[in-house]
Amino acid sequence: MIYLSESHTRTVRTGSYCEIEGMCFWVTLRPLFNGESERAAVVEDAYELNVFLSQATGVEIAQVQMLCPPSITGRPHWSLEELRKIVIHRGLESSQSAVIYETAVATYKLGDLDLRLRKRSHALYSARNLKARITSAAPQPKSADEPQLYAHF
C-alpha cells in the first residue's frame, strides 16, 4: 500500500503505485508499537528530509538512503545508496550555493558554488546524528482502517 500525504488538503490518500521524478530519499521506518512491520517513506528533498526526521514520532529511523537518477550519478541506471551526509555551502562573497551529498558509493555536488572560495557551511543531515536521535513514542494508530502517516508536514 502506498500512502500519499496531500499537503494542500492535509489529508492522506492511498494508492497502488507512484512514479518518482528526480532525486529523493528513502527512509526505512520501524514502528515502536509493534516493532515487526517496517515501512519506508519517500521524501522529496534534503530540506523535507530534515523536517521529516524531526517530526517522525513513534518510529525508529532504521536507515536513510538516497535514490539517485542517472542525471546525478552519470551511470545508465537509478541507484539506491546509503546516505552518510548532506552539507549545504553558501558563498560569502556571492549568491552561489552548493549542496554536497555523501553516500556509501560516491559524493555528489549540486549547485554552482566553487568550493575553493570562502563559504559558510551547514550540515543538514549526518548518519552520526541519526544514530544519536532520540525516538519519541506516539499513541497507537486510531484505526487500522484509516491510513496513518508517522510524520506530517
Residue 144 banded pLDDT, cuts 50, 70, 90: low
Q: What is the pLDDT of residue 66?
A: 97
In terms of average pLDDT, the best of 2-11, 40-49, 130-139 is: 40-49
The torsion region of residue 64 among left (phi > 0), alpha (psi -120 to 50) and beta comes to: beta
8 — pLDDT class (breaks 50, 70, 90)? confident
For the residues 41-54, what does the mean pLDDT come to?
91
Helix or strand or coil: residue 72? helix
Q: What is the pLDDT of residues 20-32, one digit of tens each?
A: 899 999 999 888 7
Residue 81 grid cell: 545508496
Section 117-145 average pLDDT: 76
80-128 pLDDT, tens digit per residue, is: 999 999 999 999 999 999 999 999 999 999 999 999 999 999 999 999 8
* Arithmetic mean of pLDDT over the chain: 85
Task: Give me Rg for the CA atoms of the chain.
Answer: 17
Give percent above pLDDT 90 in the chain: 53
Per-residue pLDDT, 153? 46
pLDDT at 79 over 50: yes
Determine contact, residues 127/101, Cβ cutoff 8 Å.
Answer: no
Phi/psi at 70 (nearest 5 deg)? -55, -30
